[in-house]
Chain A
Amino acid sequence: MNKIVNTSNITGLEDASYLLSRYEITEKDISNIKKYGKIIVKRLDEYVVHFYEWMKNQPEYTEFFSNDKMLISVQNRQIEYWQEFFAGEINNDYFEQRRLVGETHARINLSLDSYLAGANKSMTILMEDLYDNSLSAKAYAEAVASASKLVNLDSSIIVSTFAELTNRTIAEQSETLMKMSTPVAAIWQGILLLPVVGIIDSKRAQDIMNAMLIKIAETQSKVIILDISGVGMVDTAVANHLIKITKATKLMGCECTISGLSPAIAQTIVELGIDVDSIATTANLKDALESAFSSTGITIKASP
């Protein structure tokens, strides 16, 4: 039960009754599906044969189903899937199974397109190719319409689970990248440099500040340069972080200069109305370095 609660949080989907009403699936639809199920469930083995004849010609086939053991296990799950579908017991367990399908696709990187194309093909096989003409025309048409609704509902669960997990993976990857991208380097005795690239959010700002403060303590540096020429966007939150960072370094006896302010960023900061008089800023790294040298008493001379 616990697991169901968790995954439903992931997809943001509500309980069974909500989804059924959202996709306008009525008792009548369920009974249509069950009625058709009586015809088709016993022929699911045939369905699998048809399906994999088609699948063989799909680009994903060799990549994902070349292994026989894997193929059989997938086929069994597919049969289970359609058994559940035509059993018409639409409850949280039913949804949980659909979420698992989305999860599996996301995990093995099988595209949504391949799922949707497969679902489409399955419907053709189940509702047309294997139909035995035993129902009245009206009853058959109703069964097709009802089954379509339920397939749409299934797809929506699978797609949203898939999207959520993919987004999460991207978020995790970018977070890992960002963690790696706070390289504080001592570029001279008493002078540190941290170039920042990308977008600064509050988490990132926290990482930057921590990395800076640790390195300041470690190296007893008097000046730190935070180069933001690679930062894509500055808004009030980012500016606020920058101000806080300089305040924190000052507390440790280290002056912070922020270098790499482009004309675009300078204009944006001023028009936002942010008071940045308290922080030292420069247009480029060269100027920041010059002022760092002069404040640490270093003079550089060209050899004669």
Chain B
Amino acid sequence: MKTNELRFHIASEFDVKLAVLQAGKFASAIDSNETVVQKIMTTVSELAQNIVKYAGVGHIHVRKICRSDIVVIEIIAEDTGPGIRNIELAMGDNFSSGGTLGLGLPGVKRLMDEFHIESNAKDGTSVTAVKWIHDK
């Protein structure tokens, strides 16, 4: 059976690993290009780790979407955590409130073809990242 969507509950580093591996499998079934697969796995890893680090619990969806002219892989990361106080700052390079390189979110934006982030203290954070795969 071929599934076009994966959904992961993310609450620990173990969940992150599981999501990364499965997303990699999922992506390589859609596109055999190693770089595309690598970028999908890395994106899932960055977003899932952010969930664990800043929100504690959240979800990652990975799905294949056939648009009118193009096939894409969409990754959505959602949590109901404290939210990002200053999105512009968080999207800047080398900004980190967690003692790491601070390239996670801006890096994901560079890896992917579309990137959208919404965050506030009430609803938490939602990141949508899309990778273009190929023409239909």
A residues near B (Cβ < 8 Å) are 167, 170-171, 174, 199, 201-203, 232-237, 239-240, 262-265, 267-268, 271-274
Contacts and interface: CB of A to CB of B under 8 A. Distances in A.
B71 interface: no
Contact of A272 (B17, B21, B41, B111): B111
B13 A272 contact: no
A56 B34 CA distance: 51
B110 A233 contact: no
B125 interface: no
B45 A271 contact: no
A235 B13 CA distance: 14
Nearest to B99: A240
A263 B35 contact: yes
B16 A236 contact: no
Interface string B40-56: 01100110010000000
B42 A233 contact: yes
Nearest to B53: A237
Contact of B46 (A201, A232, A235): A235
A236 B46 contact: yes
Interface of B: 13-14, 16-17, 20-21, 24, 34-35, 37-39, 41-42, 45-46, 49, 93, 100-101, 103-104, 106-107, 110-111
B13 A201 contact: yes
Nearest to A263: B35
Contact of A233 (B13, B45, B93, B100): B45
Contacts of B100: 236-237, 240
Given A199-B17, A237-B101, A239-B101, 13 more contacts: A232-B20, A233-B41, A234-B38, A236-B101, A236-B103, A263-B35, A265-B38, A268-B39, A268-B42, A272-B107, A273-B103, A274-B101, A274-B107
30 contacts: A199-B21, A201-B16, A201-B17, A202-B13, A232-B41, A233-B41, A233-B45, A235-B49, A236-B46, A236-B103, A236-B104, A236-B107, A237-B100, A262-B38, A264-B35, A264-B37, A264-B38, A264-B39, A267-B35, A267-B39, A268-B35, A268-B39, A271-B39, A272-B42, A272-B103, A272-B107, A272-B110, A272-B111, A273-B103, A273-B107
Given A237-B100, A272-B111, A167 B45 contact: no
Contacts of A167: 14
Choose among A170, A174, A233, A264 the residue with the greatest number of B CB atoms under 10 Å from its CB: A233
A282 B84 CA distance: 38
A267 B107 CA distance: 12
Nearest to A239: B101
A237 B53 CA distance: 12
